[in-house]
Structure 1
Amino acid sequence: MNTKAQPLLPITLPRTIEAIKSFSPGQPLTVIVASYPKSGTTWMQNVLFELVALKRFRDTGEKVDLDHISNFCPFMENDKSWVFGEDCDASGLQGNHADAHAKVGATIFNTHVYLDMMPADPGVKLIYMTRAPRDVCNSFFHHLSHQAAEDGGYEGSREEFVKDWSDGKIAFGSWGDHLRSWLNDDGTCRAGNCIRVEYEDMKADLRGVVQATARHLGMEELGGEEMEDILPRLGIEYMKANIDKFEPKSVKWVNKGDGFSFVRKGAIGDGKKEFGDGDEKVFLEGFVKFPPPGGCSGLVG
């Protein structure tokens, strides 16, 4: 397992990490979707919300609507997600998160930290997302260059970003280190309570990913009518059209007048299209310094 110190955003404090490690589930079902940033985290958050909302409807007949994904699935390493006492010990989650979790009878989080920072409870369900790294790097550049500097945003050029990304000098460290913290060398999850989901599989077979995720949560698979009901709300276009429900509240955003949206295109291969020759050379050098697990080498291409 990776034992390197992980670079994190300014919104994460030492007490935040302690709160994560010591978290004790307050609902019968607790699920954490983890990833290196821009690997389909928000997309999977949306899948998880729809599944736990469906489970609630099956169990009680109560329908729960999404107001904002951050209420139901808070960013685990955002210090503002937690309530702390005078001794800096976390006493629980902020009221909006606790209330949202009570509505669906499940606790959901998203995170970008290493596996060794996760709660020790083996009953917590973990989902680890992976995505082709050129697309990850490209999307993370667009993301951080529109995030406020005081919250860890990036103010350098694209070329500088690719160099810093390859050197593991940006928030959350290197892509290879992150994957190695969560995955064995054959690409399988280190934790027995974890499944790995590839972004590309969500693009190719969203129905199949939804069913596999439901099984991981201990739910019966979705019937035809149930699947047809939720699929329209899981599409990238739906998320873009309803960006007010999906743009994270954990950081501030900078409007540069260039039409940036937190949910962009969700395309496969855009990273390679936007890379220049210099970007590609620097990008590949990063895998010599921080190689991913052997079972993930196909993602590099």
Structure 2
Amino acid sequence: MPGSIVWLASYPKSGNTWLRAMLTHLLAAPGDDVSVNALAGAPEGGDRHALDDACAISSAEMKPAELLPYRALLHRQMAAENAAPFFVKTHDQYALGPGDTALFPADASRAAIYIVRNPLDVALSFAHHNQQDVDTTIARMADADSTLNRWPDRISDFLPVHLGRWSDHVAGWTQQDAIPLCLLRYEDMLTDPAAALARAAAAAGLDAAPAAIAAAVAASRFDRLRDREAIEGFSEKPANMPNFFRAGRAGEWRSALTAAQVTHIVADHRGQMAALDYLPASMA
């Protein structure tokens, strides 16, 4: 029997939160008032205190690589305690540790839904998210050691997240064969969000009627999410970020990136960009 966890995996700023909003509305009872701060798929596996409690360790005293088997144990515990499908967001790169210990154990996993976005647009959105300049973000996306929550003070509530290179992040999740995979391109989600949500629901084992899919998509439009964020705030937004939900567009890079920046990103990630039909026509 498959496990209960459905991983909602992506490199940051690729549409993960939007998919979580659609899934939340799909799972909600008719008439429920869905809060933007109660989305399905909270990143529970990244909670340092949950890990320490589950494994009786002090994670702040350990190196990230040493935490992998303990995090795998926490994931198995989460799967055992929750009915399928249990959605969990992650930005971690798919990883195998010593002895082929999987950070995302197959026996705890029902499916992986991997959301991928053109790195030319990711660079812009990630730069906005971090309040950094685009060139710094482009370099970060090509850094094999790139990490979220680096723990400089060892008191963060969240565990370090190994991103690595954008290309390696994509390859790690899409080329693994231990967990059934549903690959969603952000651009296709924008073009036909109902079809994307239907695919995600099917991968998770949800029996969703077309009318329910359509209602969930309508309730999760970007303008509605922005309105809810303006009213409620959004607990997952970095403190220095003016707003989390932005434009929800594809192709913004064409007017916002310089030719040199486009060339740099393509040089760093050409292989995966070609495989996903993300290369600019002039560079294909």
Assess same fold via TM > 0.5.
yes
Contact 2:21–2:40 (8 Å) recurs in 1: no
Contact 1:76–1:109 (8 Å) recurs in 2: yes
2:86 aligned counterpart, secondary structure: strand
2:138 corresponds to 1:138: no
Q: Return the letter of the residue paired with 2:169.
A: H
Contact 1:38–1:140 (8 Å) recurs in 2: yes
Question: Which of 240, 248, 257 is residue 275 of structure 1 equivalent to?
Answer: 257
Q: Return the letter of the residue paired with 2:22.
A: V
For residues 78 and 240 of structure 1, what CA distance do their matches in structure 2 show?
26
The structural deviation recorded for 1:92 is: 6.4
2:179 corresponds to 1:200: no
1:27-64 C-alpha deviation (Å, 9 max, x unpaired):
xx43210011111110111122223335xx7xxxxx75
Question: Which of 116, 127, 134 is residue 158 of structure 1 equivalent to?
Answer: 134
2:272 aligned counterpart, secondary structure: coil
Q: Return the letter of the residue paired with 1:136.
A: V
The structural deviation recorded for 1:163 is: 3.0
Question: Which of 79, 83, 108 is residue 87 of structure 2 equivalent to?
Answer: 108
For residues 118 and 105 of structure 1, what CA distance do their matches in structure 2 show?
16
2:272 corresponds to 1:292: yes
Q: CA RMSD in A?
A: 3.4
Contact 1:34–1:127 (8 Å) recurs in 2: yes
- With over 3 angstroms needed to count, the CA separation of the structure-2 counterparts of 1:45 and 1:206, relative to structure 1, is same
Bigger shift: residues 65-74 or 234-243: 65-74
For residues 86 and 28 of structure 2, what CA distance do their matches in structure 1 show?
11
Q: With the length of structure 1 as denominator, give the TM-score of the two structures.
A: 0.67
2:167 corresponds to 1:173: no
For residues 299 and 191 of structure 1, what CA distance do their matches in structure 2 show?
26
For residues 145 and 254 of structure 2, what CA distance do their matches in structure 1 show?
21
Contact 1:180–1:293 (8 Å) recurs in 2: no
- With over 3 angstroms needed to count, the CA separation of the structure-2 counterparts of 1:81 and 1:136, relative to structure 1, is farther
Contact 2:201–2:207 (8 Å) recurs in 1: yes
Question: Which of 48, 51, 54 is residue 23 of structure 2 equivalent to?
Answer: 48
Report the equivalent of 2:216: 230
2:198 corresponds to 1:211: yes
The structural deviation recorded for 1:70 is: 5.4
Structure 1: any 5+ residue segments left out of the alignment? 1-23, 58-62, 146-153
The structural deviation recorded for 1:177 is: 0.7
Report the equivalent of 2:34: 66
The structural deviation recorded for 1:124 is: 2.2
- With over 3 angstroms needed to count, the CA separation of the structure-2 counterparts of 1:92 and 1:136, relative to structure 1, is same
The structural deviation recorded for 1:69 is: 4.4
Contact 1:166–1:285 (8 Å) recurs in 2: no
1:231 aligned counterpart, secondary structure: helix
2:240 corresponds to 1:254: yes
1:216-243 C-alpha deviation (Å, 9 max, x unpaired):
222223143x244323212111111112
Work out the number of aligned pairs and report it: 239
Q: Return the letter of the residue paired with 2:208.
A: E
For residues 135 and 262 of structure 1, what CA distance do their matches in structure 2 show?
15
- With over 3 angstroms needed to count, the CA separation of the structure-2 counterparts of 1:192 and 1:111, relative to structure 1, is closer
For residues 235 and 109 of structure 2, what CA distance do their matches in structure 1 show?
27
- With over 3 angstroms needed to count, the CA separation of the structure-2 counterparts of 1:159 and 1:213, relative to structure 1, is closer
Contact 2:85–2:204 (8 Å) recurs in 1: no
Contact 2:24–2:39 (8 Å) recurs in 1: no
- With over 3 angstroms needed to count, the CA separation of the structure-2 counterparts of 1:279 and 1:242, relative to structure 1, is same
Q: Return the letter of the residue paired with 1:160.
A: T
Between the aligned residues of both structures, percent identity stands at: 21
- With over 3 angstroms needed to count, the CA separation of the structure-2 counterparts of 1:169 and 1:274, relative to structure 1, is farther
For residues 267 and 275 of structure 1, what CA distance do their matches in structure 2 show?
15
Question: Which of 110, 122, 127 is residue 113 of structure 2 equivalent to?
Answer: 127
For residues 123 and 78 of structure 1, what CA distance do their matches in structure 2 show?
16
1:242 aligned counterpart, secondary structure: helix
